[in-house]
Amino acid sequence: MKDTSRDEEPIRSTPIHSVRDDVEVLPGSLLTGDATAADIESIRRRTSVYVYEAPVRLWHWINAAAIIVLCVTGWFIPNPPPTMQIGEATHQFTFGYIRFAHFAAAFVMTVGFLGRIYWAFVGNHHARQLFILPVWNRRWWQEVMFELRWYLFLEREPKKYVGHNPLAQTAMFFFMTLGITFMIFTGFALYSEGLGLGSWADRMFGWIIPLVGGSQALHGIHQLGMWAILVFMIIHIYAAIREDILSRQSMVSTMISGHRTFKDDRPD
């Protein structure tokens, strides 16, 4: 420590971690783990990296809540609950409310997804990871294979990643980015049937109905889409909790606070 007798400010700004410029920090994450040079600079000084900005986290949880509502009501729409005798049909709207909840959650999810796309443009570097797979990057493919081996218990220790690992990124791209887009398009095409010919939904999405061979076929593939998202949900929650325990970095809390913390100080 040098010159501690001066006023408080310089003491507080003096780093307690020593910066090791000779060590290359998280080289893997720099290439494929979605880390920027600023992130690396940050990790030299802090024990956490700010990854997910508030709008991304907010979207994640709103999207999760909407998907849960959509899956539950989406299960009940083709398989209605047992007939209920609460009152006259005119005073009872049970199945109507189930469908209403489905449509309301669908609008929430759609608006949220559009907001998320907007944030990919204006947000930080990590906000874009969901939308672009760097398939041209050789190293990225190696990391995908590495993660596969890690999940097959063939690797002893996982790598550190600031953003999503390449395998998670691939799953999110296909099941969420493409999956949500698919559900929005097929869902609003079905919604257009109720709004009728010439409605905004019909003009925007009505062309999908004859494309897939009619309304019944469209209902079928929309349902399959729901199951695909449900399968992703199971894997996603499991992987997040598993990696929170077994990996070298924080997972669940990162989507709450936005900060990725690392459990060890080894450079990779």
CB of 94 or CB of 253, closer to other proteins: 94
CB burial of 11-22 (b: ≥16 within 10 Å; e: otherwise) equals eeeeeeeeeeee
Q: Which residues bind other proteins (CB under 8 A)?
A: 78-85, 89-90, 92-96, 98-99, 151, 153, 156, 193-194, 196-197, 206-207, 209-210, 213-217, 219-221, 223-224, 226-228, 230-231, 234-235, 238, 242, 245-246
For residue 124, the minimal CB distance to other proteins (Å) is: 31
Hey, which residues does 262 pair with through a beta bridge?
Answer: 249
In the complex, least distance from residue 96 CB atom to other proteins, rounded to whole angstroms: 4
Smaller CB separation from other proteins, 137 or 215: 215
Q: Is the Cα torsion angle 195, 200, 203, 207 positive or negative in sign?
A: negative
Query: Taking the complex as a whole, how short is the minimal distance between the CB of residue 241 and other proteins, in angstroms?
Result: 9
Q: Which is nearer to other proteins, 211 or 256 (CB)?
A: 211
The answer for residues whose C-beta is within 8 angstroms of residue 3's C-beta and 6 or more apart is: 10
Check if the beta carbon of residue 162 is closer than 8 Å to that of residue 260: yes
Minimum distance from residue 260 beta carbon to other proteins (Å): 21
266 vs 208: CA distance, rounded Å: 52
Q: Which of 10, 194 has the CB closer to other proteins?
A: 194
Say which DSSP state 32 is in: T
Residues 6+ apart with CB under 8 A from 245: none
Q: Are 109 and 67 in contact (CB under 8 A)?
A: yes
Which of 193, 268 has the CB closer to other proteins?
A: 193
Count of other CB atoms within 10 angstroms of residue 24: 11
Q: Cβ of residue 84: shortest distance to other proteins, in angstroms?
A: 6
53 or 193: CB nearest other proteins: 193
Distance of closest approach, residue 131 Cβ to other proteins, in angstroms: 25
Torsions phi, psi for 222 (to 5 deg): -65, -40
